[in-house]
């Protein structure tokens, strides 16, 4: 079955490849979405046959055929070889830029392409069509799918932070875990490179979520929880654990 190759930050690609701890996806192994997910809905409604498109190539997302052409060192539309490479190796972002003739390579370490499985068939104006290797997402579809994947990453990070708090205050004890330790555990769980830039990005995601969309959750700060009113009773902790 055909795939598409979507440009995402390297950390997002690492996150989705490591979602299942029992089966880490290889770079060329496609991520498969359930038919009940929002991502699958986007795939079904924004796919089009690239051979019928009049738009120019979009380096944000490649069809299966375009990717195979580049794997052989050719332009996405085919033609003579541009880059000599081993077609058994997964394309790097730097190689994609070189094939396109780009001059700006400073994002090569920060960007990657995520392999995503396409639906077997889609309905186009009441006609069911089989999806082939030349099908790709429209620009609107690319934007919506990237937004959906980014939101999924953020939700998982927020849930991780909230679960960490719940764990550290459960069973009548307090575990004093540093914020950076919580972030590093998340990075380790999903195979994400633990760079200072990535930690800083995740801190901003968490801080923005608590500060804007969910102001009522500011009480998750232990400092905010130290105040009690007359209607509350005090429960003594049996121990405090430090990490």
- As a whole number, the mean pLDDT across the chain is 83
* Local confidence band at 225 (pLDDT 50, 70, 90 cut-offs): very low
Q: Which of 50, 4, 24, 74 is nearest to 192 (CA)?
A: 24
Please indicate, yes or no, whether residues 114 and 26 belong to a single structural domain of this protein.
yes
Locate 39 and state its tokens.
Answer: 């991502």
| 163 and 109 inside one domain | no
- Report how far residue 114's alpha carbon sits from residue 223's, in angstroms, rounded to the nearest whole number: 41
Which two tokens mark 221? 């700060």
Question: Checking phi first, is residue 126 left (phi over 0); if not, alpha (psi -120 to 50) or beta?
Answer: left
Q: Which of 26-30, 76-80, 104-108, 197-201 has the highest mean pLDDT?
A: 26-30
Of 103, 126, 148, the position where a domain reaches its end is 148
- Domain end residue (candidates: 82, 116, 148): 148
Q: What is the pLDDT of residue 23?
A: 94
122 and 162 fall within a common domain: no
Give mean pLDDT, residues 178-194: 89
Higher pLDDT, 170 or 130: 130
Beta bridge partners, 16, equal none
The residue-averaged pLDDT of 26-41 equals 94
Residues 203 and 219 in one domain: yes
Q: Rank 50-64, 99-113, 173-187 by mean pLDDT and report only the highest.
A: 173-187
Total structural domains within the chain: 2
Confidence class of residue 112 from pLDDT cuts 50, 70 and 90? very high
Domain ranges, residue 122: 3-148
Q: What is the DSSP letter of 238?
A: S
pLDDT value of residue 142 = 96
Q: Measured between alpha carbons, how far is 67 from 136 in angstroms, rounded to an integer?
A: 11
Q: How far apart are CA 208 and CA 171, in angstroms?
A: 30
Beta strands across the sheet bearing 3-9: 61-63, 3-9, 111-117
pLDDT in tens, 73-84: 998 888 888 888
Which stretch of 19-23, 131-135, 142-146, 168-172 has the lowest confidence by average pLDDT? 168-172
Query: What is the C-alpha to C-alpha distance for residues 96 and 12, in angstroms, rounded to an integer?
Result: 18
* Whether residue 163 sits in one domain with residue 98: no
Question: For residue 63, what are its two tokens?
Answer: 């069809």
Alpha-carbon span 111 to 230, nearest angstrom? 54
124 and 98: one domain? yes
Asked if 45 and 138 sit in the same domain, the reply is: yes
Same domain, residue pair 35 and 103: yes
Residue 1 has a pLDDT of 77
Q: Which residues pair with 91 in a beta bridge?
A: none
> Considering only CA atoms, which of 148, 150, 133, 151 is closest in space to residue 47?
133
Give yes or no: residues 60 and 141 share one domain: yes
**Cβ–Cβ < 8 Å for 60, 147:** no
Residues 118 and 196 in one domain: no
With a cut of 50, say whether residue 220 has pLDDT above it.
no
pTM equals 0.82
% the chain with pLDDT above 70: 81
Give the residue-averaged pLDDT of 216-225: 44
Q: 148, 176, 211: which is the final residue of a domain?
A: 148
Say whether pLDDT at 238 is over 80.
Answer: no
Identify the residue whose tokens are 């994609």. 96
**pLDDT tens, 148-178?**
999 999 999 988 888 888 888 877 778 777 8
Judge whether 237 and 175 are in contact, CB under 8 Å: no
Region 56-81 average pLDDT? 88
> Does residue 232 share a domain with residue 176?
yes
* Residue 101 in this model has a pLDDT that exceeds 80: no
Whether residue 110 sits in one domain with residue 65: yes
Query: Which residue pairs, CB below 8 angstroms and at least 24 apart, start in 33-41?
Result: 33/116, 33/117, 38/148, 39/145, 39/148, 39/149, 39/152, 40/119
The residue among 235, 189, 221 whose CA lies nearest residue 19 is: 189
């Amino acid at each position: 079955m055909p795939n598409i190759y979507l440009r995402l930050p390297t950390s997002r690609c690492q996150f989705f490849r490591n979602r299942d701890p029992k089966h880490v996806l290889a770079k060329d192994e496609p991520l498969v979405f359930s038919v009940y997910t929002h991502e699958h809905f986007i795939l079904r409604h924004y796919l089009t046959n690239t051979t019928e498109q009049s738009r120019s190539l979009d380096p944000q997302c490649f069809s299966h055929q375009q990717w195979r052409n580049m794997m052989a060192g050719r332009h996405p539309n085919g033609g003579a070889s541009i880059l000599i490479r081993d077609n058994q190796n997964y394309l790097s972002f730097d190689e994609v830029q070189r094939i396109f003739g780009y001059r700006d390579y400073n994002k090569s370490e920060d960007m990657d392409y995520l392999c995503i499985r396409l639906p077997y068939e889609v309905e186009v104006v009441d006609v069911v069509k089989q999806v082939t290797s030349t099908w790709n997402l429209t620009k609107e579809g690319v934007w919506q799918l990237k937004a959906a994947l980014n939101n999924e990453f953020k939700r998982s990070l927020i849930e991780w932070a909230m679960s960490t708090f719940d764990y550290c205050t459960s069973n009548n004890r307090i575990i004093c875990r540093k914020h950076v330790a919580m972030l590093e555990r998340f990075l380790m769980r999903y195979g994400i490179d633990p760079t200072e830039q990535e930690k800083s990005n995740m801190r901003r995601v968490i801080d923005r979520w608590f500060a804007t969309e969910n102001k009522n959750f500011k009480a998750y700060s232990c400092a905010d929880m130290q105040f009690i009113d007359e209607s509350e009773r005090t429960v003594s902790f049996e121990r405090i654990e430090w990490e």
